[in-house]
Amino acid sequence: MARPVKILLAGEGGQGVQAVAEILAEAAYEKGREALYIPNFGIEQRGGVSLAFVQVGDEPIGPPRFETADLAVALSDRAVVRSRPYVGPETTFIYDSSIQANNLPQGVARLVAVPAIEVSTKELHPRVFNVLILGAVIGLTGVITVEEAKEAIERRLGHRFEKDPALRDLNYRAVERGAELVRGLI
């Protein structure tokens, strides 16, 4: 990977956007890559939109905030609106397939619908919705591997897994399933 990949994650407060960003950045950093994560949130606990700016690469990373994302992820209709200023003709835009099609940004390189809410609810558990999105981001960018994501998830949530070992399997299946949902799109 030459220049850093710029990833914008946007979602409602509580959807796990910041956790996904932290896991991405931490996993990349642990493998010796350049990684930067900048959260952008305020009143999200009261219903606002949360943004996370992540950059991962092999070269030094410049300004922490970027103008145009290589990959933008929107997990709600309001997140689509908040992410629009950061997309352009080179951006791949991932969104949950439940989002209104008429709300999506125009003039992006590619729109990718991921049925994250549906799959996490029907196949896994709603609480791993964000981990499924993490898998989709990994599958489309290759900034880290699924195994590296699992290691970072283990570091972050290992204490919870000790109390409930089924959570480990659930999170691991979610990251694998997310990558699977976008396989063949890159």
Beta bridge mates, 11 = 50
Mean pLDDT calculated for residue range 92-102: 91
Backbone angles phi, psi at 164, to 5 degrees: -140, 85
Higher-pLDDT residue of 53, 45: 53
User: Domain for residue 116, yes or no?
Assistant: yes
- Structural domain total, the chain: 1
- Do residues 86 and 8 make contact, with C-beta atoms less than 8 angstroms apart? yes
Beta bridge mates, 49 = 12
pLDDT of 42? 65
Q: In three state form, how does the secondary structure of 32-92 look?
A: CCEEEEEEECCCHHHCCEEEEEEEEECCCCCCCCCCCCCEEEECCHHHHHHHHHHCCCCCE
Q: Is 119 in a helix, a strand, or coil?
A: helix
pLDDT of 62? 81
User: Domain for residue 186, yes or no?
Assistant: no
pLDDT of 104? 94
**In terms of DSSP bridges, do strands 92-96 and 5-12 run parallel, antiparallel, or are they unpaired?**
unpaired
Q: What is the DSSP letter of 100?
A: -
Higher-pLDDT residue of 157, 65: 157
Q: What integer best gives the mean pLDDT of the chain? A: 91
pLDDT of 1? 52
Q: Six-digit token pair at 172? A: 């691991």
Percent of the chain whose predicted confidence (pLDDT) is above 90: 78
pLDDT in tens, 116-150: 999 999 999 999 999 999 999 999 999 999 999 99
Indicate which CATH number applies to the domain containing 147. 3.40.920.10
124: containing domain: 5-181
pLDDT of 44? 47
How many whole angstroms from its chain centre is CA 151? 16
pLDDT of 43? 58
- Give residue 120's region: left, alpha or beta (phi > 0; psi -120 to 50): alpha
Mean pLDDT calculated for residue range 103-114: 94
- Do residues 89 and 109 make contact, with C-beta atoms less than 8 angstroms apart? yes
Report pTM. 0.92
- Sheet of 71-74, strand order: 34-40, 49-57, 5-12, 71-74, 92-96, 110-114
pLDDT of 65? 81
For 138, residues 6+ apart whose C-beta sits below 8 A from its C-beta are 24, 144, 145, 146, 149, 175, 178, 179
User: Domain for residue 70, yes or no?
Assistant: yes
pLDDT of 106? 92
pLDDT of 45? 55
